[in-house]
A and B are shown apart, each in its own frame.
Chain A
Amino acid sequence: MEKEEIKVNLPITRELGLKLLYQMILIRRFEEKSAELYTKEKIRGFLHLYIGEEAVAVGAMHSLTEDDNILSTYREHGHALARGLDPGSIMAEMYGKQEGCSMGRGGSMHLFDTSKKFYGGNAIVGGHLPMAVGMALASKKQHLKNISCCFFGEGAIAEGEFHESMNLAALWGVPVLFLCENNLYGMGTALRFSHSVQDLEKKGAAYGVEYAKTNGMDVLEVKNAVEKATAYIRSTGKPYFLVCNTYRFRAHSMFDAQLYREKTEVDEWKKRDPILTFSNQLLKNELISTDDIDTIEDKVSTEIQKAVDFAEAGTFEPVEDLKKFVYSP
């Protein structure tokens, strides 16, 4: 793993730098608070933290428009926050409160907000890929300009639905972005134990789908790669397959002794922490100062506390409403 060299004369403005950094730090602190609340039994069920992969969510969301459809997985807090979902509504959702973004009915793995075209976390690995293709198909049929973007881990690439979706997307020529976050571990299975071909992006060629890979630990690289991808899709109407190589610093979920990987490997990757590397680049290029970072940290801390208070004050849905949302009224 070569050391990340500091780039000079970055092609971005101070304002964009601050925005991207703020979003990454917001995600990081939000996930840390979620972990804390989980140990205090405020959040139950499964909780999959995004810590370490912030650059992918922030970089990607920056290059998608508000009309684009987003479909995510159960490790979705980063995507939801970067997409602009209110932290309070996410926290309340994890508390199971009806003020949550899914009325408390979905929890951490099923965040939904149609006003942000955020079509949920899907807890079935690869389960949302065919839907993304279908949504893109609908856009094509209605001659709309938006694209549909689905996020998934390298584990999903082993699912039949990945194969069927890639083929359908290419065959029908529909505007879908397949964005893979390759964090090297499908739960406890390292990449080499699940894929014969580990250069995942090359699988695009099998379906005639344009493909590329990028450094998922560098927010600017992800931003540029996704910009290139969405430009291709909007101009050709064809699908695109982008692999972001990244790494998760925390366990797969809260109750995971990480027997499958060495601590040293984790420490090595931590050296490429997306927040640290990006803030150093911004500081090195004198786009921001350390005070800016402190301001961001304070703002984020207030935002997080506001979210926790909102969730704490939330209410539980009356049991009488149990059978709501099964059929439309």
Chain B
Amino acid sequence: MIEFTMPSLGADMEDGTLVEWRVKSGDFVKRGDIIADVDTQKGLIEIEVFDEGTIAELIVKEGEKVPVGTVMAILIPVVEKVPAIKKSRIKKEPIKEMVKEGSIKVDDRLKISPLAKKIAKEKGIDLTAIKGSGPEGSIVKKDIDLAVAMKVESHVEVTGGKKEIAEKGLRAAIASAMSKSNREIPHFYLETRIDMTKALEWLRKANRQRELKDRLLTIVLLIKATAKAIKEVPSVNAFWENGLQLKNAINIGFAISLRKGGVVIPAIPEADKKSLNQLMDLLNDLIPRARALQLRSSELSESTITISNIGEGSTDKVFGVIYPPQVAILGFGNIVEEAWAKDGELSARPVVHVTLAADHRAIDGYLGSRFLMALKRNLQKPEAL
């Protein structure tokens, strides 16, 4: 059987309306005969038939609108001369823009999107410590935002006139870290008083044999005593990142307050392995540079626990806010002369109030107090520090 279908007369012709059949069933038609009139958007067009045969059936009614290709009539062929023509579908592939691979020199410079770079500059973020997650491993905005939120990045690669930006960036960095800490870390607090008589006595004797510039400050004793106490209660020296991660290196973050506000916390790497002299030399180097905002980011990013030392001439106690992802912060108040009862006797002794703020997800009260007792014992034997 031969199907006569609605012909396509133009690429933009979708359908046609049969106006009038020129034949009726039973008629014999030859190739090229006009078989019908079809109305299109271009007007009425005579439609020819390309096959010979007898009209068996007129399927589409006059006045009916049908899409191109619809079977309109059936013919009985005279003889099956013309083989059926296969329909070949053209596969429509997307045309890719063929890029000529010239040997464009790869720019090995740090890849960072201009936007990310702008924000990094404003927030005083050091880029060398950041891994890019953008195209071609580039650093993108997301990476900078994360860096700001996660760490107190008070890196200040300060050169010349950019100091104000760094300080503004610093304030912003501290603010976001503290608010995150409060939001996420369930703090609990412990406190104790430590008699500093033996420690100060030892210190004065030690300083008498030292040159003026080599004199030791009380803080180095506190740092060393803390390091020794950590060895006895290691779980205070850890990170909380979906689970407790103990840290074997004891890097004590030492809070240095800046004169116009803000605090910078360089890490004292492996404080337990350093002698008192080495600790003092380290502070002589760190403190002035910190005050001039010239610390390198690497010095700021590795603390495993933090000491907040309000220092002389200030309040007695300080309760710290933990710096995520650390799990503890130790607060040393001012050394003041206080009444001290011992074996039924009362005497005036130099006393320091020590507080511990800890992350209850990582540590509980029992371990916290054991840590403080260890600290107390260490400070009674200064010569062993």
A–B touch (CB < 8 A): the answer is: yes
Q: Which residues on A are within 8 Å of B, measured CB to CB? A: 32, 35-42, 44-45, 96, 251, 254-257, 259, 308, 312, 316, 319-320, 322-323
Contact A323 B10 (CB under 8 A): no
Distance A38 CA – B7 CA, assembled complex (angstroms): 8
CB closest residue in chain B, given A42: B85
Contact B7 A39 (CB under 8 A): yes
B115 within 8 A of A: no
B11 within 8 A of A: yes
Interface string of B54-95 (1 = CB under 8 A from A): 000000000000001100000000000000011010110101
Chain B residues within an 8 Å CB radius of A322 = 95, 98
Contact A39 B8 (CB under 8 A): yes
Distance A320 CA – B94 CA, assembled complex (angstroms): 10
The count of residues in chain B whose C-beta lies closer than 8 Å to any C-beta of chain A is 27
B114 within 8 A of A: no
**Nearest chain A CB to B145 CB, angstrom units:** 42
**Nearest chain B CB to A32 CB, angstrom units:** 7
Contact B98 A323 (CB under 8 A): yes
Chain B, range 248-262, C-beta contacts under 8 Å to A: none
Chain B residues within an 8 Å CB radius of A251 = 45
B40 within 8 A of A: yes
Q: Can you report 18 residue pairs joining A to B where beta carbons are below 8 Å apart? A: A32-B50, A36-B50, A39-B8, A39-B9, A40-B7, A40-B8, A42-B88, A254-B9, A254-B10, A255-B12, A259-B43, A316-B90, A319-B93, A319-B95, A319-B96, A320-B98, A322-B95, A323-B98
Contact A257 B95 (CB under 8 A): no
Chain B residues within an 8 Å CB radius of A96 = 90
Contact B93 A255 (CB under 8 A): no
Centre residue among A40, A42, A44, A45 by max chain B CB count within 10 A = A40
Distance A41 CA – B44 CA, assembled complex (angstroms): 20
Contact B45 A257 (CB under 8 A): yes
**Nearest chain B CB to A106 CB, angstrom units:** 16
Chain A residues within an 8 Å CB radius of B96 = 319
B288 within 8 A of A: no
Contact A255 B90 (CB under 8 A): no
B175 within 8 A of A: no
Chain B residues within an 8 Å CB radius of A40 = 7-8, 85
B109 within 8 A of A: no
Also in contact, A255 and B32, with CB within 8 A (given A312-B85, A322-B95, A322-B98): no
Q: Per a CB cutoff under 8 Å, which of A32, A45, A316 touches B11?
A: A45
Contact B42 A312 (CB under 8 A): no
- Interface of B, helix, strand, loop or mixed by DSSP: loop
Distance A41 CA – B68 CA, assembled complex (angstroms): 10
Also in contact, A257 and B44, with CB within 8 A (given A38-B8, A40-B8, A323-B98): yes
Chain B residues within an 8 Å CB radius of A36 = 50
Q: Per a CB cutoff under 8 Å, which of B9, B88, B91 touches A255?
A: B9
Q: Per a CB cutoff under 8 Å, which of B42, B48, B85 touches A256?
A: B42
B13 within 8 A of A: yes
Chain B residues within an 8 Å CB radius of A308 = 85
Contact A255 B98 (CB under 8 A): no
Distance A38 CA – B48 CA, assembled complex (angstroms): 12
CB closest residue in chain B, given A40: B85
Distance A322 CA – B94 CA, assembled complex (angstroms): 11
Q: Per a CB cutoff under 8 Å, which of B42, B85, B91, B93 touches A257?
A: B42
Chain A residues within an 8 Å CB radius of B50 = 32, 36, 39
Distance A39 CA – B7 CA, assembled complex (angstroms): 5
Known A255-B12, A255-B42; 14 more pairs at CB < 8 Å:
A32-B50, A38-B8, A39-B9, A40-B8, A41-B8, A45-B11, A251-B45, A308-B85, A312-B85, A312-B86, A316-B91, A319-B95, A319-B96, A322-B98
Contact B85 A255 (CB under 8 A): no
Contact B93 A32 (CB under 8 A): no
Also in contact, A255 and B10, with CB within 8 A (given A36-B50, A312-B85, A316-B90): yes
Chain A residues within an 8 Å CB radius of B44 = 257
CB closest residue in chain B, given A41: B8
Chain A residues within an 8 Å CB radius of B9 = 38-39, 254-255
Chain A residues within an 8 Å CB radius of B43 = 257, 259
Chain A residues within an 8 Å CB radius of B85 = 37, 40, 42, 308, 312
Interface string of B9-30 (1 = CB under 8 A from A): 1111100000000000000000
Chain B residues within an 8 Å CB radius of A256 = 42, 45
Chain B, range 313-352, C-beta contacts under 8 Å to A: none
Contact B11 A44 (CB under 8 A): yes
**Nearest chain B CB to A44 CB, angstrom units:** 5
Distance A316 CA – B32 CA, assembled complex (angstroms): 31
